[in-house]
Amino acid sequence: MDDKYIIDRVPVRKTFGQYTKLSADGSFWWGNCPLCKEEDNSFLVSTINKQFYCYACKASGNAIDFLVQLNSISSTAARQELINTWGIHVPCEPGEVLNDLAKKFGPVLKKLAKT
Residue 57 or 83: which CB sits closer to Zn ion?
57
Kindly report the backbone phi and psi dihedral angles of residue 112, in degrees, each rounded to the nearest multiple of 5, phi listed first. Answer: -60, -40
Stretch that binds Zn ion, among 12-20, 25-33, 70-78, 97-105 (CB under 5 A): 25-33
SS3 assignment, position 47 = coil
**Could you give the dihedral angle defined by the CA atoms of residues 69, 71, 76 and 77, in that order, rounded to the nearest 10 degrees?**
-170
Chain length of the chain? 115
88 sits near Zn ion (criterion: CB under 5 A): no
Residue 32 or 64: which CB sits closer to Zn ion?
32
Contact residue for Zn ion among 6, 12, 22, 33 (CB under 5 A) = 33
83 sits near Zn ion (criterion: CB under 5 A): no
User: Could you give the CA distance from residue 115 to residue 110 in angstroms, rounded to a whole number?
Assistant: 9
* Shortest Å, Cβ 44 to Zn ion: 10
* Residues 6 or more apart in contact with residue 81 via CB below 8 angstroms: 67, 73
Residues 34-53 that bind Zn ion (CB under 5 A): 35-36
Binding site for Zn ion (CB under 5 A): 33, 35-36, 54, 56-57
